[in-house]
Amino acid sequence: MLGNLQANMSRQGVNTVQKGCCNACEKPIVGQVITALGKTWHPEHFTCNHCSQELGTRNFFERDGFPYCEPDYHNLFSPRCAYCNGAILDKCVTALDKTWHTEHFFCAQCGQQFGEDGFHERDGKPYCRNDYFEMFAPKCNGCNRAIMENYISALNSQWHPDCFVCRDCKKAVRGKSFYAMEGKPVCPQCVGVDEEE
């Protein structure tokens, strides 16, 4: 019967030469054929390995020799953003052993994206320099602002060098003798002591 059909089709000018066997059903392919992944398929049998949707001539992705439609491929195999858990399809940032959309890698406190200063990490979260030091750096006993660089350690506290001054007259006591009063340095003159005695 197939022979008669082929003969009739040939007389009408339709080519009925077999184009190989379908990779899915293993039956001969006559008519339209899809060649992909080094194999031949009936068009209706070239489908996504996950959702079984016909791929036809649409874009597809290959994984371990199987075809996948674009949405399924990204949902199954693309890296996931640590912030939104969405598939990452384009540029990404890899930091803190995680992957992020570039627009989702930002300071956990203020939400600003990181500039040239980069970021600081605390408990697995990224912070901009200002927020990191404001939240986690030791505070100066003179001004109560974060200590980001050099400091003086005295009176069981830490101080910015410019903040280590006499409690009363505000003159610098760094490198000089001083007295402690209520946890603050006080110069000998303000205490009423003559240094030369």
82 and 117 fall within a common domain: yes
Report which of 156, 155, 157 is spatially closest to residue 140, judged by C-alpha positions. 157
What's 121's domain CATH number? 2.10.110.10
Domain assignment present for 49? yes
85 and 99 fall within a common domain: yes
Long-range contacts of 84-89 (CB under 8 A, 24+ apart): none
β 152-154/157-159 pair status: antiparallel
pLDDT per residue rounded down to tens, the chain (197 residues): 555 666 666 676 665 556 789 999 999 988 889 999 999 989 999 999 999 999 988 899 999 999 999 999 999 999 999 999 999 998 999 999 999 999 999 999 999 999 888 999 999 999 998 899 889 999 999 999 999 889 999 999 999 999 999 999 999 998 898 999 999 999 999 988 876 54
The residue range of the domain holding 112 is: 78-136
Return the DSSP state at 162.
G
Distance between first and last Cα of the chain: 127
98 and 72 fall within a common domain: no
44 and 93 fall within a common domain: no
- Is residue 95 a contact partner of residue 126, using CB atoms and an 8 Å limit? yes
SS3 of residue 9 by DSSP: helix
Please tell me the distance from the alpha carbon of residue 187 to that of residue 165, in angstroms, as a whole number: 8
Which of 136, 163, 183 represents a domain boundary (last residue)? Answer: 136
Domain assignment present for 88? yes
Per-residue burial over 90-100, b if 16 or more Cβ lie within 10 Å, else e, is eebbeeeebbb
